[in-house]
Every structure is written in C-alpha cells, then in structure tokens.
Structure 1
Amino acid sequence: MNNLLYQVDDRPPPITTALLAAQHMLAALGGIIAVPLVVGAVLKLPADQVVALVNAALLGSGIVTTIQCIGVGRVGIRLPCVMGTSFAFVGAAISVGLEHGVPGILGSSLAGSAIMILGSFFMPQIRKLFPHQVTAVVVTMIGLSLVPVAVDWAAGGKNAGANYGDPTNLGIALFVLATVIALVQFGKGIISAAAVVIGIAIGYAVCLGLGLVNFTAVQKAAVFAVPQPLYFGMTFPVSGILAMALAYVVTIVETTGTFMALGSATNTKMKGKLLCRGVLCDGLGSAFVSVLGAPPVSTFAQNVGVISLTGVASRYVVALTGVFLAAAGLFPVLGAIVVTIPQPVLGGAGLMMFAMIIAAGVQMLSNVEHDKRTGLLIAVSVGCGLAVSERPELLAKLPSFVHEIFGSGISTAAIVAVVLNLVLPDRPVAVHDDEEEDDVPQPMLIPKVG
C-alpha cells in the first residue's frame, strides 16, 4: 500500500510547498557550495573568483533541478530530484585545475559531458545491470556513505579542529535529532512532513540564543549578482577531457543507483526510458553549468532521504527548491544566511535523513532471494564499498584512473555488485524490455504521516 503524504504529481498548497521546498534546499545547499569552495581553496583562487564559482553553481543547480523535476520534452526525469555540483568530479577537477586552471576545468567538463549525454541513450541496457539485489546494495551503500557526513556535521565540521566533537556541538545535534524524531512520530500533516526544516529552525533559534551563529558571511555577501557565462573562459586540454570523461562514466553508475533509490522512495517504476530522460538532463545540465562557470552537476542522494523521512514525493515541491537555489545564486546574501546555520544543527537532521536511506536499503535487502550467491554478492560489494569509503588512503598508491573509478564507496559497491551478478553462476535471467513494466520497486521504510 502506498503511504506517501504527497504523490509525485500532487501539488500541495502554496505555503506548504514553499516550506517543504525550503527543507530540500537546506539538505542540498551545503553540498552545492562545498565543491566550488574546495576547488577554489586547493587552486588558491582569489575571493572574487570563488564567489563567482559559488554563485554560478547555485544558479546552475537551481535551473537544472527545475528542469529535471518538470521536464522539457525528452529531458528531465519528472521526479523530485535535486541537482547540484558533485563531489564525484572534485578529484578530476583539482587535477585538471592544478595544471590548466579553472578554464581547463570548465572546458574539460563541457567536452566530457558528451559521455553522459551519449550514455543516456543506453540506459535501457544499463538498467538491466541493476536487478533488485544490485539496487538494494547501492541504496544501502548510499546511506552508509552519507551517514559519516552527518556525523562530521554533528561534531562541528571537519574543519572544527580542537572543537571537533565538543559536547556543545554533540548536544545541539542530539537536540535537533530528538526534535525531528518527535515531529515525525507525533506531528500531524504538514508538521510531520516539514519535520526537518522545523527541527533545523528550532535548533537555529537555540544556537542564536547561545551566541553560536556567525554572521560574517552575510556581512560580506553581495545583495545581488548575476553570474557571467564564460567568466573564466575555457580551454580544452586532452588530458583534462579524459579525466573528466572517466568521472562522467563513474557518475552514470552512481546516478543510476540514486535514481533507483528515488524510484523506490516515490513508488515509481524505474524503467530504462525514464532513466534515459534523467541521465540526459544530468549530461545537458552539466554542459550548461560549465558554460555558466561552475563544476558539473549530478543527482543528490541526500534529498532521497528527505523524501523517505517525510513521505513528500511531489516533484513540484522540489521544482520550487530549484527556484530557491537559483535565487540564492542571484542573491548571494540569501545563500549566505543559510550558510550561517551551525553544522551541528544540520548534523542532527542529516543523521536522521541519511539513516532513513540505510533503513530503506535494509528493507530492500530483506526482500531479495536468500541464497549463497546473493549472500556473496551483498557481502563482497558492501564490504568493498565500505573499504574505500572508510579508508580512502587504500587507493593512494594506485594509478589516478583507479582512484577516479573506485574513489567513491557508492560507485565501488555498484560496480562490484554488477560484476558479481554477471559472473557468479546460476544468476537470474536478465530482465527484457517487455518485462520492465513488471519490475515494481519495493516500498521504502517511510513513517506514516498525517
């Protein structure tokens, strides 16, 4: 039985839609801003250029998110899908940028996006590589990879130094976590659906009272700024294009897994043609944001956790999130205000959201056929994913292309699961095109709301 509060094509009332859209924005904004900040810091860019990267990333992510949700012709998956600058490209971007600067990053991103655009037309075939047991592994690994991010937030952030794990940080995070749990469990209607944003707002108010909010970023932010396309210029180094192309190949795998998780969260049959529209939007969107002056975009897995937790699957809600993100790109002061939210506040809410993805993956794993073959597939793929996720230095002495492919626990688990599914004996017969209609995703663990 479908227990979503709002279905994919539902249109909640305007005020409710705005509140729920803000919830998704809070979940995504930190990740979108982090990528240009990291790249800018490593390349030692001047402040004005870092600001230009951030504004372009927000505006581009917002526009592509709206297109992904609403759809334009054959482009866009038409599901509640948040797009943002992806850490999957950080390694390649830094390696290209150190040699060729930001123009090399953007030119390589534009040229490399052709891989994702072309790959989108083969999604019906790629979809066959993701039967239920493989999808369950990927969904579980998405959650397992995101939880450490929330833990770092709860502790004060990776850059907290001596304050990492400070009792005050942990206390705030636990308070927000308890608040979100209470709102989800005992709240009704919009109170339960908007539990994350309400919990963050309450946590933010507490931090204000304790004097823990730093408004320096707001004071420095411009009120209005229009990102200038080709502000940095573009160059097309062959080595950079190859590095980015490889990153796009890995992103296709990760995006496919995220779309499968999204299909399960929204009770949507994730057929090959639907994947084609979504991945095509990823590719075209990355080309667009490259021209705009930002690193490539991809589907954000953390927002699947918001849907799982709240039961709100309306694509119109997330389309408005895209509008909010674009506004943050045009009005940097808005994004700066959101950035003032202390990381422990985000950590308390994020731990709940990301753990919900793990719960969904565990439920999906419980529905697979329990035999020796499946047990091996799950154990080895999840183990390999955790190995590179928790000990990334494991790959430090291997060639750079190996690190690009297996640097993410999600992509590692997905690739290992796909390979084992193909090579282990007695594997199930592959799904044919005419059987895709019967491939109904298992429902996720979504708490009852309303």
Structure 2
Amino acid sequence: MRIHFIAIGGSAMHNLAIALHKKGYQITGSDDVIFEPAKSRLDKYGLLPSEMGWDAERITTDLDAIILGMHARTDNPELLKAQELGVKIYSYPEYIYEQSKNKLRVVIGGSHGKTTITSMILHVLNYYNRDFDYLVGAQLAGFETMVKVTAEAPVMIIEGDEYLSSPIDRRPKFHLYKANVAVISGIAWDHINVFPTYSDYTSQFDKFIDTITEDGVLIYCKADNDLNEIVEHSTARINKIGYAIPDHEIDKGITYLLPEKTALKIFGDHNLMNLNAAKLVCAQLDISAVDFDTAIASFTGAAKRLEVISADESTNVYKDFAHSPSKLKATIDAVKSQFADRKLTACIELHTFSSLNKDFLQEYSGSMDKADNAIVFIDLKSFEQKRMEPFSEADVRDAFANPNLKFFNDASELKAYLLSLNYQNTNLLMMSSGNYAGFDLPKLAASLKK
C-alpha cells in the first residue's frame, strides 16, 4: 500500500504514519511546519519530508490513499490535486476504522478522562501480555508510539474524541469507529467553535450511542445527570452499564482500593471513576476484577495528567492538561482532597479556543474556589494566533467570580511571582493544554526548592 499523509506532523497523524510504516506500508507525507517530538520521530523512521510546504506534484494516481489531517485547509494544493485525480481520501479516524473493522473495537468517549481511561486499559492489557492495537492521545510509558495497527491483534482500543475528523469531513471522530464496546466518561461543554450551544454538543454523544454496534456495550458514568438522561432515553439496542466512584480510602497521601486495600499511584475522584470505567472495559475483555486490581496498582498515570514534576515531604509540583472548567475543578479537588493538610497554589493557562472566548469564559465561575491561591495566565500571543479579541483582567476576575484570583499575561512576571511564594506545606499545580509561553516546568520546580 502506498499512502500519503497531508499534514503528517500532527500528533495522531505522525503516530499513524509510523504505525503503518511498521506494518510494511509505503508512506510519504507533507506539512508546512513540524514540531518536536514529531520531527525527530518521523526522521528516525525515514518519514520526515525532505522539504517543508505543500507540493501538488507529490500526488499521483500511483497512491492507494490519502490521509488528511485537520491542520490542512480545504484549499490545500495537494488535497485539490487528490480530488482532481480521484485518489481515495480518508480522515485519520476513517482510516483507523478501515484498519480495525474486523477487530473488536473499544472506543473511549467523553468530555474528560478519555486519555486516562484508555491508558489504564492499555496498561492492564500490556501487563498480561495481551495482543491488541490502540490509538491513544498521549505518550505512555512502555509504549513507543501513540498508535499501533497490526493484522493479527483481535482487539483495538481507541480514544475517540468529539472534535471534527478533517477539513472536508465535519463529523466528530468518535462517530466513525462503530464501537463494539463504548465508554462515555461524562459531558461538559467544549469546542464551542464547532458546537456553539450546549445542546449542539450533547447531541453528538446521543449520536455516538447510535453508532455502537447492535448488542454492543455502553459503559457510562452514572454521576453525570445529563449523560444519564441521554442514556435512559436512548433506544439503541445495546447493553448499558453504569459506573461510579469505587470504594476506597486515603491514608497519608496514598489512595487504596477496597476491600483488598490495593495501593494506587493515582488519586482523585475523577481518576477513581476513570479506573472503574477501565475495569468494566477489561471485564468485557475477560480480565477479572482481581487481575485488574493487581495490574492497575503499578499504573502511574498518562503524561500531563496530574504528572508529578517534583515531590518531597513538604511540597509536590504537578502539571496537568486540564483546560475546560470541569477538568479544572476536578483536578483542583483531587489535589486538595489527597493532601488535606497542605495548601494549594493552582495556576491555569487559558489557551484553547473555547477558554479564550469571552462568552464561554463565564463557564469558569467558581472553578478555582478550592485553591488557596488561584492564578490565571494568558499568553497574549494566543489571542493573536487564534485571531480572537483579547479580554481584560476585569473580564477574567468577573468570570471566575473569585475576588482573590491573581491574573498575569506576562510569562516573566508570572514566573517571578511563583518564585516569590512560600511553598512550605504547599503544593503547586500548573494546568494548561499549552506551554506557558515556553516555561521549563522542571527547572521552575527545582528553583522552588531553593
């Protein structure tokens, strides 16, 4: 098979390119810019384009397929040439389905927790040397790539998000996988540039349920009232299994699963619910509850999900991918509950399209109230890059409804402020889907110790 990737540098795209290369396919690709780690990883496998930019001459009738990434535009010259020549064009979720249509497909959906649930399942399957393919949204310890596709594996575990599939396919990705076993972890409005109302957004999950294969299984979070209502009203011919927080206890900063008192390396109610979802999926894959608990005890978490940067007897520093209001609140709650005797300094970078929308900003009301010291940072370049109108410090304060909130839009001033604080018996939580204008978080954490 000869396959060309348009916008090969994307996170999922370059991983899929590597996975297909390993399968023996002939892969080429193009992009206008490729960042690390994608650049080095593509170069390692001889897949890095020799020149950046688009070139219609790369597209010929010898190609078996084009895989089109979201980074490309509808007027991309390579895309236009492929359409002119009639070369088959796939979005990457479409092609993932093509690679897995004869396998049992487990699809993890929901507004939050998808990567963690998927990672937990992969960890347990890997622990027992099970043969499986996968697509996950973060780099995991013990897994070289974020995508694996083979001819032999009987099952594929897929993290399925609700964002659009490609510039010419406006369907949400998770609608295309046709799950045999599906998870919905919860619903919290996001992607308002695509789903301008909450109703528009929730309807995508209703449609996702309808894509589950007949007599398939839906595993869903019972703690989410809106999700419960959608599931209850669904007429899909599927089996529905709800889950909640498992029995547990916290002792000296460690969470234990009950009744066996299995010590975990993760914490927080949201992670415990994620764990229960993963456990129910693994039960569908013939892994017993006891075997699951044995394996999950060594799970340390997905990258950037309450990832420990440094820790000692007085201060832990975490980074987390939290960016939406629900994720922000859940992450703060988790750290405060786990370390009830420590104060918490929590900083969120508003970086996504939704969080930089002045109307959506109101959804953050009260989301940082449990932090002892709440900080909001915005890199002004984010507004420019997204071509959005900046809002003021007053707008942020009003939206978060937190009179003690600190606001920064200069990275050097934020860093100076963080370094000026006393971290005795205090944790620091840095949350963003961006990079704090280039912050070196490990270096910052080391400086705090001094």
Q: Give the TM-score of the pair, scaled to structure 1.
A: 0.25
Greater percentage in helix: 1
Based on CA coordinates, which of the two structures has the bigger radius of gyration? 2
Structure possessing the higher relative contact order (Cα contacts under 8 Å, 6 or more residues apart): 1
Q: Give the TM-score of the pair, scaled to structure 2.
A: 0.25
